[in-house]
Amino acid sequence: MAEVPLAETPVVLFRRPRWRTLRRWLFCPPVIILALLLLGAVFAPQLARYDPLTPSPGEKLQPPSARHWFGTDPYGMDIFSRVLYATRTDLTVAVLSVLLGIAAGIPLGALAGYLGGWVDEALTRLTEVMQAFPQILFAMAVMAALGNNLVNLVLILAFLNVPVYLKMVRSVTLPLRESDFVLAARCAGHTTGSLVVRHIIPNTLVPVFSQFSLSCSYAVQMVAGLSFIGLGVKIPHPEWGSMISLGANYIVFGMWWPALFPGLATFLAAFALHDLGQRLRRSLLREAEG
Amino acid sequence: MSEQALLQLRELRAVVGPREQPVHAVRGVSFTVRRGARLGIIGESGSGKSMTALSILRLLPPSGVIRGGKVLYDGRDLLRLPEPQMQRLRGREISLIFQNAAAALNPLFPVGEQIADVYRHHEGGSPRQAWERAVAMLDAMGIPDAPRRARAYPHQYSGGMAQRAMIAMALICSPRLLIADEPTTGLDLTIQAQVLDLIQEQVQRSGTSLVLISHDIAVIAEVCEEVVVMYAGEVVESGPLAEVLRNPINPYTRALLDCFEPKEGRRLPYIAGRVPQLYQEPKGCAFFNRCPQAREMCREIHPPTVEVAPGHRVACHVV
């Protein structure tokens, strides 16, 4: 056979990005915001000028100043330090719970889509029941029953994320099941397990990538929201939602800073993650359309 | 029959499609593949060739059900084998290659890795051994610069190369039976010939039996020594290739052969009408509505299979 040149690589997943593409992604607003938040979280001990957990009764509710950039809260704790440390709590809980949800959702979705039949029926109905339930109510009920702590918060949020990924992976698996390479893999003697792991799951990961960022954004809002009503994180522990809740009482007295700065941080994190997810999704759609 | 037979289909029946209105895709197919023999199955689209092939490996689409009959491989009925044993058989004893090989490779992994994967799956050994074996196999399939090409991804392969890779994957465990379902459809004519030569050469060298499915009598005439003509899910004529080509009896076989040997100055011949939709099994002969020699009895009575010469069987009232 004549020498056939290796074609240019048009595949999405493993292409080495060109510098121009890379630059466009590195310098888009959500990535910059997320980078700043991450830097703040990682270097919190160096950046914070006060211990986030030490109250200072003489300096309660100080407005922002050169000494306390974001002011102090009702216990006299430095809000800037607390907002920095809280980034660790909020992002860790959010990302960890989404990752756990993905870890369970992908294999379940692939199995549901690939096996079909009663497995699919059972899993689909189960996710529908789960999604029909109000999430905050569900979280409150479970926390009340199992104990109000961070680990349970992560587990609950992970559980709430499972249906999202289960459905997504299932929907991508359905057409894959009929594809020639899956038939070829079965011809080659693959068992169901090895086939799903080797051939189905890798081909479902692209939509999972863009959903990941969106889910994290939602999880940040859930963590802050649940902490706001007193679930998951208890007060001295730095966390945005509980800080907002603490500061909310003082807004009416004209003291806006204890609630505003953690609120701003929550908003920035949720917005950046959401915007990044949208950008990823649009870019993948463009790739798919060619 | 005898120890000569590697694969015997006996009255195989299969349906596909929704349960309320299934299509009778395979309707009592019987034929025998002798050890080391090369058998061709020919028929129009929709005549049940592919469904027969998939039934042998029990890989019908999810809506497909085998309704009866036997698939005797080496004396064992494959239809009764537990699934784990069937999985050990697929790709190791019986391999299947099909049309559009480019789609038969997983787009996310290098071709060599996928081939090595099959080897390791069945034969074990270290990843390195399997990889070397895969590269050697690609090389034997005439892929230039195999060690480098093995690391390339499927989209970097041309159609002909992808088909070679698929043949490599099918043959890497030295199966005893290779089923090739339209392996050259969709390839350039020159590449078609190369791929056919390759299949023939590999099969001959390893003593593998071959079932070659095609709608192209030229392809089958070049490779096979026996032929099975299928129409509407049934075998209408079968026998040694030379005998069937020289002395076709069933009007369908004749019409099919006419299409490939157009006479000077005539328009390209074709068989008028279409393969019937097999939602219901026809009472008489399925070819009745298109047959130039149809008689009244053909509508009502299903034609029996008759042996007209040694090994040459025909199912037709005209005999």
Tens of pLDDT, residues A199-257: 999 999 988 988 999 999 999 999 999 999 888 888 788 999 999 999 999 999 989 99
pLDDT, one tens digit per residue, over A119-152 is 999 999 999 999 999 998 999 999 989 988 889 9
Which residues numbered 105-134 in A keep a CB inside 8 Å of some CB on B?
116
Residue A24 is assigned to a structural domain of this protein: no
Over residues A62-81, mean pLDDT: 91
User: What is the model's pLDDT at position B266?
Assistant: 61
Q: What is d(CA B42, CA B244) in angstroms, rounded to the nearest whole number?
A: 12
The 10s digit of each residue's pLDDT in B266-295 is 666 778 777 777 888 888 898 988 888 888
Model pTM score: 0.79
Which of A256-270, B251-265, B285-299 comes out lowest in average pLDDT?
B251-265
Domain enclosing residue B45, as ranges: 5-101+176-315
Give contacts of B142 with chain A, Cβ < 8 Å.
1
Would you say residue B102 has pLDDT above 90?
no
Contacting residues for B24 by C-beta, under 8 A, at least 6 apart: B13, B15, B233, B278, B279, B280, B281
B265 falls in which pLDDT band (50, 70, 90)? low
As a whole-number percent, the residues of chain B with pLDDT over 70 amount to 96
Residue B111 lies in a domain: no
| pLDDT confidence band for A56 (50 / 70 / 90) | confident
> Is B145 part of a structural domain of the chain?
no
Q: State yes or no: pLDDT of B2 exceeds 60.
A: no
Facing B106 at nearest CB: one of A9, A177, A181: A181
Contacts of B88 in chain A (CB under 8 A): 189
Amino acid at site B295? R
**What's the rounded mean pLDDT across residues A248-269?**
93
CB contact at 8 A, B160 and B184? no
Strands (E), A116-216: none
CA distance B156 to chain A (A): 5
Q: Which of A15, A172, A177, A181 to mutate to test the interface with B (most CBs of B within 10 A)?
A: A181
Instruction: Say whether residue A1 is in contact with chain B using an 8 A CB cutoff.
Output: yes
Say if residue A285's pLDDT is above 70.
yes
At A273, list the tokens: 């993650």
Whether residues B98 and A180 touch (CB distance < 8 A) is answered with yes
Q: Measure Cα distances from A214 to A208, A210, A239 in Å.
A: 10, 7, 21
Q: pLDDT category, B263, cuts 50, 70, 90?
A: low
Contact B194 A1 (CB under 8 A): yes
Report the pLDDT averaged over residues B66-75. Answer: 92
pLDDT for residue A123: 95
Q: How many domains does chain A have?
A: 1
Q: Residue B9 has what pLDDT?
A: 95
Spell out which residues of chain A touch residue B118, defining contact as CB-CB under 8 Å.
188-189
CB contact under 8 A, B152 and A6: yes
Chain A residues within an 8 Å CB radius of B100: 180
| Range in A18-27, B58-67, B144-153 the model is least confident about | A18-27
Closest chain B residue to the Cα of A192, Cα to Cα: B87
The answer to whether residue A15 neighbours chain B at the CB level (below 8 Å) is no
Most confidently modeled range among B127-141, B180-194, B247-261: B127-141
Residue B99 and residue B112: Cα distance in Å, rounded?
A: 20
Q: Are B104 and A183 in contact (CB under 8 A)?
A: yes
B87, B100, B108: residue with CB nearest A202: B108
Residue A88 domain-assigned (yes or no): yes
Q: Give pLDDT, residue A15.
A: 59
**B59 chain-A contacts, CB cut-off 8 A:** 183, 186-187
Interface with chain A: mutation pick from B106, B158, B198, B213, highest number of A CBs within 10 Å: B106
Q: Give the closest-approach CA distance of A289 to chain B in angstroms.
A: 17
Cross-chain residue pair B191–A7, CB shorter than 8 Å = no
Q: Does residue A74 fall inside a structural domain?
A: yes
pLDDT higher than threshold 60 for residue B113: yes
Look at residue A7 in the predicted model and tell me its pLDDT: 44
- Read off the pLDDT of residues A4-51 as tens digits, 9 standing for 90 and up: 444 444 444 555 667 888 888 888 999 999 999 999 999 999 998 889
Q: What is the DSSP string of B20-68?
A: TS-EEEEEEEEEEEETT-EEEEE--TTSSHHHHHHHHTT---TT-EEEE
pLDDT band for position B151 (cuts 50, 70, 90): very high
pLDDT at residue B3, rounded to an integer: 58
A180, A201, A206: best mutation site toward chain B, by most B Cβ within 10 Å? A180
Partner-chain contact B88 A188, CB within 8 Å: no
Closest Cβ–Cβ partner in B87, B169, B194 for A191 = B87
pLDDT value, residue A8:
43
Question: B165 in a domain, yes or no?
Answer: no
Q: How far is CA A164 from the centre of its chain?
A: 12
Backbone φ and ψ of A126, nearest 5°: -60, -45
How many of the other CB atoms lie within 10 Å of CB of A215? 28
Which residues of chain B neighbour A199 with C-beta distances below 8 Å? Answer: 106
Whether B117 has its CB under 8 Å from any CB of chain A: the answer is yes
Q: E strands of chain B, at which residues?
A: 5-16, 23-34, 38-42, 65-73, 76-77, 94-98, 177-181, 209-214, 226-231, 234-240, 305-309, 312-315
Task: Tokens 């784990």: give the residue.
Answer: B84
Check residue B258 and give its pLDDT. Answer: 83
How many structural domains compose chain B? 1
Rounded alpha-carbon distances, angstroms, from residue A169 to A51, A156, A215, B217: 44, 21, 15, 44
User: Distance from B268 to chain A by nearest Cα, in Å?
Assistant: 32
pLDDT computed for residue B235 by the predictor: 95
**Confidence at A289, pLDDT banded by 50, 70, 90:** confident
A191·B98 Cβ contact <8 A? no
Strand order in the sheet with B76-77: B23-34, B5-16, B65-73, B76-77
Pairing label, strands B312-315, B305-309: antiparallel
Q: Is B59–A186 a contact, with Cβ atoms under 8 angstroms apart?
A: yes
- What pLDDT band is residue A86 in, cutting at 50, 70 and 90? very high
Q: What is the mean pLDDT of residues A184-212?
A: 89
**Which residues of chain A neighbour B161 with C-beta distances below 8 Å?**
1, 4
Q: Quick check: A1 pLDDT over 70?
A: no
Distance CA B261, CA A52 (A): 91
Task: Specify the CATH number for the domain of residue A216.
Answer: 1.10.3720.10
Cα A177 from Cα B62, distance rounded (Å): 10
CA separation for the pair A49, A40 (Å, rounded): 13
B249 and B242 in contact (C-beta within 8 Å)?
A: no
Residues of chain A with C-beta less than 8 angstroms from the C-beta of B153 = 9, 11
How many pairs of residues across A and B have Cβ atoms under 8 Å apart? 85
pLDDT reported for residue A2: 42
Stated length of chain B:
319
| Nearest one of B116, B71, B9 to A188, comparing CA atoms | B116
CB within 8 Å of A20: residues ≥ 6 apart: none
Q: What integer is the mean pLDDT of A167-195?
A: 90
Residues of B within 8 A of A13 (CB-CB) are: 108
Helix (H, G, I), strand (E, B), or coil: what is residue B300?
helix
Domain membership flag for residue B162:
no
φ/ψ (deg, to 5) at B90: -65, 130
Cβ-nearest to B161 among A4, A116, A178: A4
By residue range, what is the domain housing residue A130? 40-49+68-289
State the CATH number of the domain containing residue B226.
3.40.50.300
Mean pLDDT of B250-268: 77
Chain B residue with Cα closest to A194 = B121
A193 touches B: beta carbon within 8 Å: no
Q: Could you give the residue ranges of the DSSP H alpha helices within B172-285?
A: 189-206, 217-223, 241-246, 251-260
A6 and B156: CB-CB below 8 Å?
A: yes
B293 touches chain A (CB under 8 A): no
Closest-CA distance, A177 to chain B, in angstroms, reads: 10
Would an 8 Å CB–CB cutoff place A16 in contact with chain B?
Answer: no
Is the CB of B183 inside 8 Å of chain A's CB atoms?
no
- Residue A92: pLDDT over 70: yes
Pick the residue with more confidence: B20 or A290? B20
- Does B175 lie at the interface with A, CB-CB under 8 angstroms? no
Pick from A11, A179, A189: CB nearest B92: A189
Longest dimension (CA), chain B: 67
- Closest residue of A to B87, CA-based? A189
* Strand, coil or helix: B18: coil
Mean pLDDT, chain B, rounded, equals 89
